[in-house]
């Protein structure tokens, strides 16, 4: 099983902790690969905009198969949270959907799986901000505590080119 990610800029831990409990819950998440942003919406209002980074092939189209280092595009669901990730928390994206599976089947390949929103790889400490200047992931979405608290399992996500 492959593991792809899209990464979010880390925010100062102290500032993050101030609003952890007052953050509204998003009812949809919109990711723009071109703009490198993730926007959380509640009742069509932006409740949080975050810069993100992707894998090496993030602008080369929709994910086609396992190992292509692309990030999927389309409509999915954030279906579960993973506290014990190798990265600082992870939220699973329901890729592949039925269309992705059908396309991969026609191509005779595996569509891949394990697409996540997640924080940085554990263990970087004070140097973690440096990683955000590079497309260091293999293709999902990195997150942090604010996003973790603003998203519940079942929240829809749209990943745009």
Is residue 118 annotated as part of the catalytic site, yes or no? Answer: yes
Active site annotation includes 88: no
- Cis-peptide, bond into residue 96, ω within 30° of zero: yes
User: Annotated catalytic sites, by residue?
Assistant: 118, 140
């Amino acid at each position: 099983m492959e593991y792809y990610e899209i990464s979010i800029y880390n925010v100062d831990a102290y500032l993050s902790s101030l609003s952890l409990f007052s953050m509204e819950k998003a009812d949809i998440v919109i990711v723009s690969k071109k703009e490198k942003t993730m926007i959380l919406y509640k009742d069509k209002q932006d409740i949080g905009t975050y810069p993100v980074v992707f894998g090496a092939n993030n602008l080369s189209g929709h994910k086609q198969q396992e190992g292509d280092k692309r990030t999927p595009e389309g409509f999915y669901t954030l279906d579960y949270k993973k506290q014990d990730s190798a990265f600082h928390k992870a939220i699973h994206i329901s890729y592949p959907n039925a269309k992705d599976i059908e396309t991969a089947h026609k191509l005779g390949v595996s569509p891949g799986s394990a697409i996540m929103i997640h924080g940085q790889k554990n263990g970087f400490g004070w140097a973690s901000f440096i990683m955000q200047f590079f497309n260091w992931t293999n293709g999902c979405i990195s997150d942090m505590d604010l996003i973790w608290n603003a998203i519940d399992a079942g929240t829809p996500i749209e990943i745009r080119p």
